[in-house]
Structure 1
């Protein structure tokens, strides 16, 4: 489709990334307690869906089209536009009504459209066999992850909203999105920039390890030694595999070398999360869960996307972003210590640190949008 440029396609994830950050800033400000009767849950759902589907999902499938196909075809482009309409519908309807008729309808529409879009993508994949297989596994994980949302309706009908199974249906979706399709697609693109000699056994190790890491989510609701054992084995196996990639990234560009170390840190954190004492803390401390999700999103995915955009970002913006991100993580993981040092409400601290993230994202995304015109 010659009339459509890559920059035009990037308009949507970049815009949604900015809008999602704006919603996140409002949300952080609301948590400081300045608003009364603020629909926190509704806005939270809007923020998470826009950032996950509008920004991250959109961006990564564009990378797959770029590196593993001959370009997006006309019909797929129209499906891509339909996906954007669904994201806009979710963004607005979640704020207005939360989980209800319109938000569920737009979410379901996005899911079904993504099936068709990814099947079309599957048929057009090309490149090194093992990398293509890795992308395909990511597509399979996207389909697998949707089992979680499909379970929510029946569980609600059976009045199991407060049961561990309802929570696990959500965790199942998040795991096979974050550590399934999205993580694997990022890894497939990242490995393209390395000197790795990718073998079939590597594909098997990655797949089984990431599936096994779902045990960490199960451990959130169910305390059993077998679940913990699977989580530990999967985390250690994946960490060892990532460690073996060190030489493959040793002589790459500094940005990809740094991304490798972030990936190594993520895999090591999985081992820490396997410890019973840490797992018990996560069960009772929602801040730790948010810190982990933000570490994946803001610490790994966002820098990866920015680097792959080949968009020149001033070093000052990078410093502001990294410092703000790290301070917000410290506040989430050690709220009492941060409060004792600053003598300031932890919610205020989180708003201030997130404001730095907001400024960074705003500068990067808005300059990209204006330069693309």
Structure 2
């Protein structure tokens, strides 16, 4: 395992982006499957591999890495602490195992075993990182976001275990299946992903000495609202009037506090603190906050039962919402964060490919949004699969360029 400890921070980031490229390749294959006859390709198997590897091999990999970098205040030439290196490597092995096992057998004994192993690795990460945060005396305003993200990381796995229980016992409980699935997705997307990223945002604000008092209000309200807002996903369970009103209040409160925080984030006094940041990165970093506002707005609209039934009953809308979070918010932020702190060199060529990646992401969202909107009028979007294939291809090409540009710059530096 000595070679694992020799993997540099830049090496781990390149592995993460390469994993995202593999996710994009699977996306391209799924789009091709709707256009061409590919007999050896099982669409369901590819979908399962795509989603599981995106969560574990890309997002969780990068969030684990960045949490460790911030906690130990590591510079780009440093190496990770040995125990965190081993945890990250274990997560990578489980992720790759899930990728190939889901492609081969879909949900089967091997893929379920590897998924369980991946969850156990996340537990180990949560325990050790919680300890590391305390021992390293991390700034409390950053630590609180990280602590809660670790809680939600563990909590989300309960939905996975219940799903596994339903499959093992062969129960055809559709409502139970959906409840468990949305439980996992909610506490991954709105818990683990969001709170970890907000901890990284707080780290950026601290570095720029742009401390926002409004961030305290944001943390307290969202930390209280996150768990109850899971019930937005399962309004079809018909909660009591009091429970429904509580959900509505939390949804509106979440949207309001985010809008309030954004006003102060983009206030002239705060923007001056970021005067030294590259203008290109400033523009790119503005995308995730506005995408989050749109996400919270959609969540607020979903308190309307009829609209909620439409959203959670129409696949393109669900896929569009999930990709809004995974690509527009999470992925763009994580790659931008790597550029901001010099783990990747922001060369003109890198900017070109990153822009191509973003164009592909936005085109993907636009097509899915149009599909959802036209479905309201019982209409379809002609050639939608062609447009989605183009978007996926642009994403893939952009990622290839980002990885190639990072290697070229590193070779010149050495």
Structure-2 separation of matches of 1:351 and 1:35: 15
Could you say what the CA RMSD is over the residues aligned between the two structures, in angstroms?
2.7
Out of 111, 117, 134, the residue aligned to residue 103 of structure 1 is 111
Asked whether 1:294 is paired with 2:330, we answer: no
What is the match of residue 189 of structure 1? 200
CA shift for structure 1 position 197: 2.6
Out of 153, 161, 186, the residue aligned to residue 164 of structure 2 is 153
Asked whether 1:323 is paired with 2:331, we answer: no
Asked whether 1:334 is paired with 2:334, we answer: no
**Offset from partner CA, 1:223-266 (integer Å, 9 cap, x none):** 34646434322221111211222213431452434433333222
What is the match of residue 52 of structure 2? 49
CA shift for structure 1 position 315: 4.5
TM-score, normalised via structure 1 length: 0.90
What is the match of residue 80 of structure 1? 88
Asked whether 1:345 is paired with 2:383, we answer: yes
What is the match of residue 233 of structure 1? 249
Tell me: CA distance 1:156–1:5, structure 2 relative to 1, closer, same or farther (3 Å).
closer
User: Contact 2:94 / 2:115 at 8 angstroms: preserved in 1?
Assistant: yes
Structure-2 separation of matches of 1:279 and 1:302: 26
Tell me: CA distance 1:225–1:352, structure 2 relative to 1, closer, same or farther (3 Å).
farther
Q: How many pairs were matched up?
A: 372
- Between 356-365 and 178-187, the greater mean CA deviation after superposition: 356-365
CA shift for structure 1 position 174: 1.1
User: 5+ unaligned residues in a row in structure 2: which ranges?
Assistant: 75-79
Out of 299, 307, 310, the residue aligned to residue 281 of structure 1 is 310
**Offset from partner CA, 1:261-301 (integer Å, 9 cap, x none):** 33322222222233333212113311100000001111111
Give secondary structure in 2 for the equivalent of 1:38.
coil
Structure-2 separation of matches of 1:342 and 1:233: 35
What is the match of residue 364 of structure 1? 402
User: Contact 1:249 / 1:260 at 8 angstroms: preserved in 2?
Assistant: no
Structure-2 separation of matches of 1:18 and 1:6: 19
Tell me: CA distance 1:361–1:162, structure 2 relative to 1, closer, same or farther (3 Å).
farther
Tell me: CA distance 1:161–1:13, structure 2 relative to 1, closer, same or farther (3 Å).
farther
Structure-2 separation of matches of 1:58 and 1:35: 31
Structure-2 separation of matches of 1:127 and 1:99: 40
Tell me: CA distance 1:231–1:356, structure 2 relative to 1, closer, same or farther (3 Å).
farther
- Between 319-328 and 119-128, the greater mean CA deviation after superposition: 319-328
Tell me: CA distance 1:369–1:86, structure 2 relative to 1, closer, same or farther (3 Å).
farther
Asked whether 1:171 is paired with 2:182, we answer: yes
TM-score, normalised via structure 2 length: 0.82
What is the match of residue 14 of structure 2? 11
Structure-2 separation of matches of 1:272 and 1:361: 34
CA shift for structure 1 position 343: 7.6
- Between 96-105 and 3-12, the greater mean CA deviation after superposition: 3-12
What is the match of residue 393 of structure 2? 355
Out of 249, 259, 265, the residue aligned to residue 243 of structure 1 is 259
Structure-2 separation of matches of 1:214 and 1:369: 42
User: Contact 2:33 / 2:43 at 8 angstroms: preserved in 1?
Assistant: yes
Give secondary structure in 1 for the equivalent of 2:171.
coil
User: 5+ unaligned residues in a row in structure 1: which ranges?
Assistant: none
